[in-house]
Amino acid sequence: MNKKYFLALASYNIWANNIAVEWLEQINEEQWNQVIISSFSSIRETGIHIASAEKIWIDFWKNAPDPVYLSTEFEGSKNDLIEIWRIASTGLKNFIETYPEENYLQQITFRYPKGGEGQMKFWQTFSHIINHSTYHRGQLVTILRQIGFTKFSSIDLATFYRLT
């Protein structure tokens, strides 16, 4: 649990998200919105969930007064979401670069989308968001396969470490 390790995870997250985004750029609007049985009802909704979570944790870390859950109000296009997702993904790394390592034990207060608050140490929240994004990118693979998409490459952490 140190800055170097967290920066490596943030770099991995950017790398994996960029590959996932490349997959999404290859599907059409019908596939993007197609109803599929999964944790979320479509590729669109899964993408919104990942981007929203990455963005909201940055808001929590910065103690933003009115953090916005994209998942509750996003109405934009696939390209709009991809841009937000890329900014949030890079934002995670940018935050780690400037966040003092001595604050990793600091409690972070967060709000649940349906109300209520919780607290975790900063290092736990950062670990959570990396794991969360990895989990849902895995779901993207499954639902992309259901619509016939097969142009995948490995996006696991071991592949990232081998390639970098």
Q: Quick one: how many helices (H) and strands (E) in the chain?
A: 7, 2
136 assigned binding-site residue: yes
DSSP annotation of 101:
G
Contacts of 72 (CB under 8 A, 6+ apart): 113
DSSP sequence for 135-151: HHHHHHHHHHHHTT---
128 assigned binding-site residue: no
Range(s) of the domain holding residue 57: 3-163
Residues of the chain above pLDDT 70, percent = 100
Domain count across the chain: 1
132 assigned binding-site residue: yes
> What CATH number has the domain bearing residue 126?
1.20.120.450
- Please indicate, yes or no, whether the overall pTM of this predicted structure exceeds 0.85: yes
Q: According to DSSP H, which parts of 35-149 are helical?
A: 43-61, 70-73, 78-98, 122-146
Please, are residues 42 and 33 in contact by the beta-carbon 8 Å criterion? Answer: yes
Lowest mean per-residue pLDDT among 2-11, 74-83, 110-119, 122-131: 110-119
Where does the pLDDT of residue 57 fall: very low under 50, low under 70, confident under 90, or very high at 90 and above?
A: very high
Residues of the chain above pLDDT 90, percent = 91
